[in-house]
Amino acid sequence: MEVFDRPASCFGDRRSRAEIELVVIHYTAMENAEAALERLCGSEFEVSAHYLVGRDGTVFRMVPEDKRAWHAGVGSWAGRGDVNSRSLGIELDNDGMSQFTEPLMAKLEVLLSDILDRHALPPWAVIGHSDMAPGRKRDPGRHFDWRRLAEKGLSIWPAPLPGGDFMRDAAAFGYPVHVGKGAILSAFRQRFNPNADGPLSKEDEALMAGLARGFPAEVA
């Protein structure tokens, strides 16, 4: 896979010798890849990521994998914070309102497969920005095809199970439940039940139970 280097200004060392345990998926919410690269590689906004995948499938590397990019911000997963120190961040060239292009998705699959293989990470190590920062972030959003990734072993998709307790199961899966049920439900639906609306449903409960019982929160 061809990767083009566009070095970022904002990054540092991984703290406390943290190892890579997670891959966090984002969308850029910008007009195009070049605009996103200018923002992610500059110093003004104090933000960066390890990779950006363009709508045409071009892959850019901004921060070396052994360094801590500034992509996740405040949040936690599986009861632990400083997600930046224990993750890789992948930005996707998407405005947040459109479908993700086929060239982008195809190249993301190649990139994720390579990352998971090299770092010996399981499929459940791939999460969305909204998963670890519910209520604060919405990317990669309801248009992102998580099921497609799961079918290729690059993410997960739950089999519904009866008798679940939504918030207890959310905590067991890894969600930071201290932010409240509303934020967790929104983040969960963006990823696993994107057509749902309204109050918490039995379908939501069953899908969350499938996540809690099928996939461990510990990712390393």
Between strands 11-13 and 67-69, the pairing is: antiparallel
How many other CB atoms sit within 10 Å of the CB of residue 185?
21
Task: Report the distance separating Cα 24 and Cα 170, nearest Å.
Answer: 18
Compute φ and ψ for 57, nearest 5 degrees.
Answer: 95, 0
- Catalytic residues, by residue number, are 91
Q: Which residues contact 45 (CB under 8 A, 6 or more apart)?
A: 39
Tokens found for residue 116: 């998971």
Compute φ and ψ for 61, nearest 5 degrees.
Answer: -110, 125
How many alpha carbons fall within 13 Å on the CB side of residue 101? 15
